Chains A and B, each alone.
Chain A
Amino acid sequence: MLYLRQVFTIAAKDLRSELRTKEALNSSFAFSMVILVLFSFAFDPSSEQLHEISGGLLWLVYSFASALSLNRGFARELENDCLDALVASPVPVSALFLGKAVANYALLMAVEMVGFLVFGLLYDVQAAHYFWPVLLVIALGTWAMVVVGTMFSAVTVNLRMREMMLPIIIYPLLLPALMAAMTTTTDLLNGAPFGPNLIFLRVLAAVDLIYTLLSMIFIEFVLVG
């Protein structure tokens, strides 16, 4: 119970800080909107081609927006050396990690939900038909991005080129999750039934579970050595 309270305390602190500065929120939101609008001019919304790439397009926007947002995860602790105070506190480092992941997840999901609505409007997608299944895919895929991104934002936090390093490191690791999410999203948006895509949902759930457990095990080594 104490562990969950500590996770919640860290998450609430990060969300409060972010909502006051809006550094990560503004950049990832603005980036998502610009890409969605630009692509809407590049492709004919009624074309068959767009339907075939719709999932890929959506996850392209989400994955780039996530890199912008997740960079701030541990970087915000550098100001005033706050990370030292957190690591020196009795909070387990894994709870610190999970708290940050939960805050990142909430912020990214908010950006993605707005992005999904704009995507529906600009690309003539009848999102209401597929909303809940697609939401499940987005929820699982986003957790994979968040957990890997938060872990590697801790690894790269002391690097000068961390903004560039983070995407280089996380995208290869996220390939299985992104491929599963893209394929399922494309199928669902094209009216395919949920059943045949269950295998991809299992892949997403497995990736989420494995990366979460690995991160919780290795985060102490990353932050303390």
Chain B
Amino acid sequence: MNALDIESVWKYYGDFPALRDIKLRIERGSTVALLGRNGAGKTTLLKIIAGLSGASKGSVKIMGEDARRETTRRRIGVLGHAISLYDELSAMENLTLFGKLYALADPRKRAEEMLERIGLSRVRDGLVREFSRGMRQRLAVGRVFLHDPEVLLLDEPFTALDDRAIAVLQALLREGHAQGRTIILSTHQLREALELATHVALIQRGQLVFEGPRTQEMADDPAYIYRTYGEK
């Protein structure tokens, strides 16, 4: 069974087709770099996969099930453009909250473990609004990994991260890949993404124009994929 089956997905905003007939199959354990220029449709596609938005036509199955099923959502971790954390709650309260929402056996213990892992246990009781941008980003990364998701959907995960947060995220993604998790990340940071990716998908004006394994040429020259498959 594939981790992800996207069947002829279309998405319209009014009359404008933001996604056009996207067909994509992603095997379990793959790390897919979803590439494309601004406005190509990467975020729209990730939102549909995450069940945050409905497709106008077509279907998305995660591990063979509908993305909006509760059992499916339990298996997904989503990191969007923003941190999705509450400024007026502490780091510990934020992670415990999401631990409870994902019905973890011991949300507090898991939150403590994750705070240790992302290097924020020292400030566990500090309010998120008092954190630096890098600390907030690390906490957001911790939130996504908190419930050990099998499928990770990351939208521009490296954007605005400081060095330490990038290191934490890369370590968690490598670890996740080694554990057989499926990772789909949209990004403009080609070098970081192609270092991690096993597969590449390129979206252009809402259409999937390339999908396949990441080759050594792509890793050596991140612009290669745009030069070869992108718009001239």
Contacts and interface: CB of A to CB of B under 8 A. Distances in A.
Given A20-B88, A85-B143, A90-B101, A224 B68 contact: yes
Contact of A224 (B54, B81, B84, B102): B54
A86 B101 contact: yes
A9 B97 contact: yes
A84 B78 contact: yes
A80 B73 CA distance: 20
Interface of B: 50-54, 68, 70-71, 73-74, 76, 78, 80-89, 93, 97-98, 100-103, 143
Contacts of A16: 88-89, 93
Contact of B84 (A9, A81, A92): A81
Interface in A1-38: 2, 5-6, 9-10, 13, 16-17, 20-21
What are the 7 closest A-B residue pairs judged by CB atoms, nearest first?
A85-B84, A81-B82, A90-B73, A88-B78, A90-B74, A90-B70, A89-B101
Residue among B51, B86, B98 with the highest chain A CB neighbour number at 10 A: B86
A88 B46 CA distance: 12
Contacts of A82: 84-86
**Dominant SS at the B interface?**
loop
B51 A224 contact: yes
B99 to A, nearest CB: 10
A225 interface: yes
A80 B70 contact: no
Contacts of B93: 16
Contact of B80 (A5, A84, A90, A225): A84
A170 B100 CA distance: 32
A172 to B, nearest CB: 28
Nearest to A19: B88
A48 interface: no
Contact of B52 (A6, A79, A88): A88
Nearest to A5: B100
A81 B84 CA distance: 5
A86 B97 CA distance: 10
